[in-house]
Amino acid sequence: MSTLVWFRSDLRCDDNAALHAACLAGGRVTGVFLIADAQWQRHHWGARKQQFVWQHVLALRAELAVRGVALRIVRCPRFADAPATVLDVAQQEGAERVVTNAEYGVHEVARDERVSAALARAGVGWRLLHDNCLLRPGTVRTKESAPFKVYSPFRRAWLEQVRGEPLGCVGAPPAATPVEAPALPDWMPPQADIDPAWWPIGEEAARLRLEDFCEQRIHAYQTDRDIPALDGTSRLSPYLAAGVISVRRCLQAALQSNAGEWDSGSRGAQTWINELIWREFYVHILHAFPAVSRDRPFRAETDHVPWRNDAADLGRWREGTTGFPLVDAAMRQLRATGWMHNRLRMLAGMFLSKHLLLDWRLGEQWFMEQLVDGELAANNGGWQWSASTGTDAAPYFRILSPERQAERFDADGAFVRRYVPELAGCSTKALLKPGHPELLATGYPAPMLDTKAARERVMQAFRSAGIAASEEPRP
Ligand SMILES: Cc1cc2nc3c(=O)[nH]c(=O)nc-3n(C[C@H](O)[C@H](O)[C@H](O)COP(=O)(O)OP(=O)(O)OC[C@H]3O[C@@H](n4cnc5c(N)ncnc54)[C@H](O)[C@@H]3O)c2cc1C
């Protein structure tokens, strides 16, 4: 049996279901990766994400070569071209079947249906495996067999299903007679700075980061994860988004550091596992509710909220010149590094959608364009949460206050000083008070809005859309 493995968001040799299945079947195994640059642009992939993915495609090509697997890298700008391209590569390689790991966005699902149909017409087999989540999307359901719409009951059901079950990690294919890596196409990703100290390239780098986190920092995660000035989180998100490391390996390391316990023992380990379950939750949502990958709100009624589209206000938010130091530090961290701390993603998301009443999709797009870890399910889930249009959406009257968040999570101003250098010499008291004369004396802007008036405006906007100020419905 000769098999073609089609790599997409699973750029690794280790614990890769499709690659493992292909190798297990025996016979010749070849890999293919499609550069879908026009499609990536339509999906708002930024230069940093494209660079990160590209560097990992090259790393994968080298890793596969020493395992006797040649990785073909082929330019195929649009998903619409994928059926012809995959079939062409399969036929050139004499592959009897194509194996791949599922992706769950609507365009990706439609692409795969068209590819499998084209292959079937030509007599080439197709096998779609589920590798992105620990539990296959669609398999965690309520008693009524419906998909969950709220995280906490999803988490309970998810834990019930996984407890006592093996994680099922599989190793990389063993070293074999090396093959010469096929020639590269004439394509380069857009130029982007990715700090190699922050984002080293390769599976080994991701594995070491996971190990280091689970040895050094996981037990303090419960408290440290909320302080953006600390290195308190794993920063594995770009690796998980590109599939450089599997979620099973992450869970395995977390369990190892917690005597095998999922939801007892170390509070830090439990909390980190919960974040990985959030990741699963949003992928399951994407799969069950395709509307969310079509720019629609999860809660259809919120479509009537009169979101604004104001280029000047959007520009100030993007540039980090809102006059709210912690919001600005967050937005500048994003621009400088391609990553933003989770607490600040929530704050920046709420600032855009609630305080500015700008359409949350503008923020979602900007994040995708900037983030090195941009990923449809988590980004959409996070934005819809912030805008109160999504699953566990915060009730719209609960709005994170930039001042209160700074007092709680950057009380000494360390994070603001790092990313808003013009404020580095200001007193901590001033940093915690937007509009303080000390801040203005540096040329830093006055707050662009009055938070009380902004709050009134967004409450009115939701009311005008007929949405009552009640708590979220539970399933
Ligand atoms: C508005 C908004 C946009 C976001 N956009 C993205 C995105 O494009 N890509 C992305 O990977 N995450 C996104 N997140 C989720 C979260 O902020 C990041 O996953 C996290 O900050 C990454 O840092 P870390 O790897 O150190 O996370 P850790 O705290 O170490 O968590 C471990 C892993 O769990 C997953 N995870 C953690 N929190 C969440 C969450 N809330 N939802 C889903 N998965 C989670 C990530 O894969 C992360 O790497 C977004 C959150 C918000 C509020």
Per-residue pLDDT reduced to its tens digit, 16-25: 999 999 999 9
Tokens at residue 83, please?
């059926």
- pLDDT of amino acid 68: 96
Please give the distance, rounded to the nearest whole angstrom, from the Cα atom of residue 322 to the centre of ligand 1.
Answer: 24
Ligand 1 in reach of 217 Cβ (< 6 A): no
- pLDDT of amino acid 397: 81
Please give the distance, rounded to the nearest whole angstrom, from the Cα atom of residue 323 to the centre of ligand 1.
Answer: 26
Q: Which atom of ligand 1 is nearest to the CA of 348?
A: 1
Average pLDDT, stretch 299-327? 97
Average pLDDT, stretch 242-264? 97
- Sorted by where each starts, the structural domains of the chain and their CATH numbers stand as 3-129 (3.40.50.620), 133-166+202-288 (1.25.40.80), 300-464 (1.10.579.10)
Average pLDDT, stretch 38-48? 97
Helix or strand (DSSP H, E) at 32: strand 29-35
- Ligand 1 pocket test target in 373, 384, 405 with most atoms within 8 Å of CB: 373
pLDDT band at 271, cuts 50/70/90? very high
State what percent of residues in the chain have pLDDT above 90: 95
Q: Distance (Å, rounded) from C-alpha 340 to C-alpha 415?
A: 12
Antiparallel, parallel or unpaired: β 97-101 and 70-75: unpaired
- pLDDT of amino acid 356: 98
Q: Distance (Å, rounded) from C-alpha 90 to C-alpha 237?
A: 32
**Residue nearest atom 15 of ligand 1, based on CA coordinates:** 378
pLDDT at 471 over 50: no
Ligand 1 in reach of 375 Cβ (< 6 A): yes
Active site (catalytic) residues: 275, 278, 307, 342, 360, 383
Q: Identify the weakest region by mean pLDDT among 199-213, 350-364, 406-420, 457-471.
A: 457-471
* Of 129, 49, 139, nearest in space to 378 by CA: 49
Q: Which atom of ligand 1 is nearest to the CA of 381?
A: 42
User: Is the Cβ–Cβ distance between 6 and 98 less than 8 Å?
Assistant: yes
Residue type, 218: I
Q: Which atom of ligand 1 is nearest to the CA of 213?
A: 30
- pLDDT of amino acid 475: 36
pLDDT at 89 over 80: yes
pLDDT at 393 over 90: no
Tokens at residue 377, please?
């399910």
Angle formed by the axes of helices 360-370 and 376-386, nearest 10° = 140
pTM over 0.85: yes
228-241 residue pLDDT tens = 999 999 999 999 99
- pLDDT of amino acid 143: 96
Q: Which atom of ligand 1 is nearest to the CA of 281?
A: 43
If one compares 13 and 193, the residue with the highest pLDDT of the two is: 13
Q: Identify the weakest region by mean pLDDT among 84-88, 161-165, 465-469.
A: 465-469
Average pLDDT, stretch 175-195? 93
Average pLDDT, stretch 378-384? 97
Please give the distance, rounded to the nearest whole angstrom, from the Cα atom of residue 236 to the centre of ligand 1.
Answer: 9
Please give the distance, rounded to the nearest whole angstrom, from the Cα atom of residue 235 to the centre of ligand 1.
Answer: 9
pLDDT at 474 over 80: no
Please give the distance, rounded to the nearest whole angstrom, from the Cα atom of residue 238 to the centre of ligand 1.
Answer: 9
- pLDDT of amino acid 395: 78
Ligand 1 in reach of 137 Cβ (< 6 A): no
pLDDT at 243 over 50: yes
What integer best gives the mean pLDDT of the chain?
96
- Ligand 1 pocket test target in 198, 218, 342 with most atoms within 8 Å of CB: 342
